[in-house]
Amino acid sequence: MSHGVVPAEVARAARGGLAPVARWLHAVGITANAITVAGVALTIVGAALLVVGQPGAALAVLVVGALADTLDGAIARAAGGGTRFGAFLDSTADRLADAAIFSAAAALGASQGDPILFWAAMVALSASFLVSYVRAKAESLGAVATVGPAPREARLVIVLAGVAGWAILALPPLFVAAVAAVALLSTLTLIQRVVAVAAALQTKSDR
């Protein structure tokens, strides 16, 4: 599966590094679903901290939320495989987390009178939802739609980099640039996936 702008080696290393933690959490009785719920709750809290202009606290909370988002799958694998409800919960939690982050960015842009941040956040929100929808719909039709530079993990990495630039370097424009980059890359990913699915389904219909 494509990781977009995130190098595949980095993604594999991150998952490999979290595997021992996942096994330990499973051993002490913590379930993947519990981590999923905790992750989305932390992301919502982090998004709220962004709205009130607390990038340092937001970064810390969002990073932990992102780790939880990776850990839940690792815990499910440690338990011998996830359940259908777990997959449903994880997908729903991902959409809630995306909505929280980009809605927070839009709210921040509106409160600060920053039209670039506001509209970039709105485009990022819409495009990120459509990217995920296209993949899910394609898979229900027997096609594959994993191409593009901005799958969810790539979008999250870019946003976190922007929050880090704001928090550590005291440069809010880096956060604006990150949200704008997600908006652009998500739109490109959406177009690529629609084209790929259209080609795949057309090929099937011609057989």
The catalytic residues are: 94
Whats the size of the chain, residue-wise?
207
- Cβ contacts of 69 within 8 Å, gap of 6 or more: 36, 39, 43, 93, 94, 97, 156
- Check residue 29 and give left, alpha or beta (phi > 0: left; psi -120 to 50: alpha): left
User: Token pair for residue 171?
Assistant: 């440069």
Give per-residue burial for 20-43: e unless 16+ CB within 10 Å, then b: eebeebbeeeebbbebbebbbbbb
- How many CB atoms are closer than 10 A to CB 152? 19
Burial of 64 (0-12, 13-18, 19+ CB in 10 A): middle
Cβ–Cβ < 8 Å for 117, 179: yes
Amino acid of residue 114: D
- Rounded CA gap, 155 and 159, in Å? 6
